Amino acid sequence: SLRNNQEQAMGKKQGADSASLGVTVRWWFEMMRVSVVALYSCTLSRRDPRTFCLPSIQRNVVGPEDAIRLISAAEAKAADLGGYTTRRHADYPTTDLPVAMLENVSDIVDRAATNAIRGLVARCEAPANLEVYDAFLVKYEDQKSLQPHLDGGRYSATVALSRPRETPGVHWPAPVLEDAFYHKKLCPPSCLGEPCDLWRSRGHSLEELETHWHCSCSLCAFDAIVDDRDQRRRKKNKAAPWPPPAGFGAAAEGDYDYDGGGTLFPELRNVRVVPKLGDAVIHGANQPHGGADITSGQRFLLAFFFDVPLCRKAEKDYFDTFMLSLLLIAVALVLAYVSFVADFSDALQDEEKKLDDKRKLVASLGFQEGRPGTSSSTSSIKKNKKDD
C-alpha cells in the first residue's frame, strides 16, 4: 500500500512537471510569435512621431450628468477606502482611483474612451484599434498641481469633470505669443537660423523639424487646438482680449468648481489648455505636459492612457525575451557544431607532423639528446661560424 502511494505521488509529480513544461513552452512560443509580428508592424513608442502629437481639445466627450455620476462614484469609493490612492504611479503620483474600482460607471467610461479615441485618430493619425490600458479618476484639491512628465503608452486624454472659473480654451503666457498665434504675425526663425514656414514650404514636415532637428516650430501648428468657430470669432473681432484679463469672461461666483488649473505644455511655449466640463485634452503620450496649479476649489478629471495592444505586449518584456532567445539559440547552434560537426583531427595531425619534422631536423644536426659526437658536432658548427 505504501509503495502504491509512492508510485501515485511520483506519477502526479511527473504529470505536474510535464504540464508545467508544456505551459512554459506555449508561453515562450507565444512571446516569440508576438515579438516577430511586432517587429514588422510596431515602432517603439519613443521613436514613433505620432506619440509626440500636439494637443487638441476634443469636444463633448462626456455629458454633465455623466460627470456627476463619475465624481459621486469616486467620492463614495474613497470614503469606503479611507481616501484616494496616492502611490499608484511611482514617478509622478496623482491623487486618484482606478475606474475599475468605481461602481456602475463602466458605460460612461467606455463611451468616453470611444470618443477620445475618435479624436486621437483624427488629430494624431493614431490607429483605430487603440486600447485603454490605464484609466483613473484624478482629484486636485490637497494636491494642487502635477509636475511636467510623459505618460505611459502612446496616446493620452484627460476629460474635464469640473467647471473652470477661467474662460475655457487656450491660454498663452504672453500677449506676443497670443497675437502671433491668432494673427500669424510671428513664426520664430528657430530652425537652423531660418523660419519654420520656409522649411515647411520645402517639404519638411512639422514632425521632422520637431523630433529630428529639434526645432521649436510648434507655435506655427496650433490651429487645431481651438475649433474653427472660436478661431473665426477671434479673427473677426481683433479687439477681443485673449487670454482675458482678470475677471473678464470668468464664471460668476457659484458657477464654477475650481480656479486656476488646466493642462500645461512646457515645451510648447508654456501654453495652458483649459477645457470646459465634458471636453477632453488629447495629445501624444511623449508630449511633455503637467497639471497647472489650482488656487481654490476641487478639480476632477478622467484620465486615459491608450496603446496599441500588440505593440504594448511586445514592449512589455517581450522584446527582451525574444532577443535573449535568439542569443541562446545561436549559442546552442555553435555548441552543436563544435560537438558534432567540426573535425579537429586534421589540425592535430598537422601539429604532430610539424613536431616530427623538427625532431628529425635536430637529429640530423647532431643535437638529439644522448647521441655520441654531440660535443664535437657542436664545436665544429661553432668553428665554422667563427671561420665564416
pLDDT over threshold 50, residue 236: no
Give 80 or 342, the one with higher predicted confidence.
80
For residue 59, what is its C-alpha cell?
469636444
Return the pLDDT at 2.
54
Element housing 358 (H / E): helix 345-364
pLDDT in tens, 288-335: 999 999 999 999 999 999 998 877 776 665 556 656 666 767 777 777
pLDDT in tens, 97-154: 999 999 999 999 999 999 999 999 988 889 999 999 899 999 999 999 999 999 988 9
Coil, helix or strand at residue 86: coil
- Give the predicted TM-score (pTM) of the model: 0.62
pLDDT over threshold 90, residue 260: yes
Euclidean distance between CA atoms 130 and 126, whole angstroms: 8
Coil, helix or strand at residue 218: helix
**Residue closest to 279 by CA, chosen among 302, 299, 259, 297:** 302
CB-CB contact of 181 with 219 (8 Å): yes
Element housing 306 (H / E): strand 299-307
For residue 165, what is its C-alpha cell?
472659473
Which strands form 263-265's sheet, in the order they lie side by side?
A: 146-149, 289-291, 263-265, 271-274, 169-171
pLDDT in tens, 14-71: 556 566 767 766 766 666 666 665 655 677 777 788 898 888 888 899 999 999 999 9
**Chain Cα centroid distance, residue 246:** 39
